């Protein structure tokens, strides 16, 4: 099963180093104490719309090999803050998934391309969805003192579904500390925001450890482009040992696994990817079908 944490590398690798600003921000990505990648965000205001492009790259080095995770999110919203469109490109090593979302009133049209396969669907929306700019503006307008909170509807690119996001202030000094929760994810995200609403540091926990996305200059961020190495226990704790042995495992072409979150209030993300699809899904549980991507080579008899 593949995770949905991944990012598509933009052409900015070959571009001149840009000045750090609220509209052009670079970040260093760490897991624990190890730099493992970078993030780059660009804001543009043109054509009556506001566009955000966010690219994140992580690489984990282990035993002479490298696992690359990339994600690029491009969003368009109106000047009033209503989300119009969202494009998400993800890559886990050599597996790529591209998702396009177009919002028209209370209906979202979703197209997912995974390898040579394409899936299209429409989703009725319970409310108008806010774009990133509007969410940032709402946060800085409404959240001031410890205990202040705000709630809004948006699109979660990881779950590929509409989400209700709740933000609450837990501390305030020179920066505003916000804890964010979403109805589509069990993750709890902590952000430290400056006076413009830009995150100086964002933290959340993954099976590999605590991820910290820290504001930096482009030179520091891109120095982590080669990825990093984690302690061995970071990998072993990502495995779930079931004690189940599959009979004649090498001959299995398709396997169905029921997954359930331990937190029943969370929402299981859409795990559709090359070689796997969700065949049943509830709020916090679902059935994942994993199929062999390449046909088995069958032995012929008699053997010469």
38-48 as b/e: b if 16+ CB within 10 A: bbbbbbeeeee
In this prediction the pTM is 0.74
Q: What's the confidence (pLDDT) of residue 187?
A: 85
In this predicted model, what pLDDT tens digit does every residue of 245-296 receive, in sequence order?
A: 888 888 888 999 988 877 776 677 777 776 888 888 887 789 999 888 766 6
Q: What's the confidence (pLDDT) of residue 130?
A: 95
Cis amide leading into 120 (omega within 30): no
The C-alpha angle with vertex 260 and arms to 277 and 270, in degrees rounded to 5, equals 35
Q: Which of 39-48, 79-88, 99-108, 259-268 has the lowest mean pLDDT?
A: 259-268
Cβ(268)–Cβ(286) below 8 Å: yes
Phi, psi of 139 (to 5 degrees): -60, -50
Instruction: List Cβ neighbours of 270 (8 Å cut-off, separation of 6 or more).
Output: 4, 159, 160, 161, 278, 281
In this predicted model, what pLDDT tens digit does every residue of 94-138 receive, in sequence order?
A: 778 899 999 998 999 999 998 788 889 999 998 899 999 999 999
How long is the chain? 304
* Residue located via tokens 């984690």: 230
Q: What's the confidence (pLDDT) of residue 275?
A: 80
In this predicted model, what pLDDT tens digit does every residue of 144-155 receive, in sequence order?
A: 999 999 999 999
């Amino acid at each position: 099963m593949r995770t949905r944490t991944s990012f598509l590398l933009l052409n900015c690798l070959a571009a001149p180093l840009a000045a750090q600003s609220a509209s052009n921000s670079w970040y260093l990505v760490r897991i624990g104490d190890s730099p493992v990648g970078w993030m780059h965000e660009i804001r543009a205001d043109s054509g009556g719309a506001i566009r955000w492009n966010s690219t994140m790259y992580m690489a984990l080095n282990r035993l002479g090999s490298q696992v690359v995770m990339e994600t690029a999110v491009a969003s368009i919203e109106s000047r009033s803050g209503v989300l119009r469109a969202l494009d998400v490109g993800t890559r886990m090593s050599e597996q790529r998934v591209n998702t396009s979302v177009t919002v028209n009133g209370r209906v979202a049209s979703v197209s997912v391309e995974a390898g040579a396969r394409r899936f299209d669907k429409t989703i009725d929306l319970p409310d108008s969805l806010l774009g990133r700019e509007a969410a940032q503006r709402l946060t800085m307008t409404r959240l001031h003192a410890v205990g202040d909170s705000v709630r809004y509807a948006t699109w979660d690119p990881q779950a590929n579904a509409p989400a209700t996001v709740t933000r609450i202030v837990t501390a305030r000094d020179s920066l505003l500390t916000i804890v964010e929760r979403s109805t589509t994810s069990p993750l709890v995200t902590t952000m430290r925001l400056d006076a413009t609403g830009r995150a100086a540091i964002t933290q959340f926990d993954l099976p590999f450890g605590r991820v910290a996305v820290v504001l930096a200059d482009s030179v520091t961020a891109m120095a982590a482009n080669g990825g990093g190495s984690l302690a061995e226990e970071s990998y072993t704790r990502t495995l779930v040992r079931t004690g189940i042995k599959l009979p004649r495992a090498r001959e299995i072409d398709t396997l169905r696994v029921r997954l359930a979150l331990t937190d029943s209030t969370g929402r299981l993300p859409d795990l559709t990817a090359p070689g796997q699809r969700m065949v049943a899904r509830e709020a916090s549980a679902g059935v994942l079908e994993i199929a062999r991507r390449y046909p088995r080579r069958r032995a012929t008899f008699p053997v010469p």
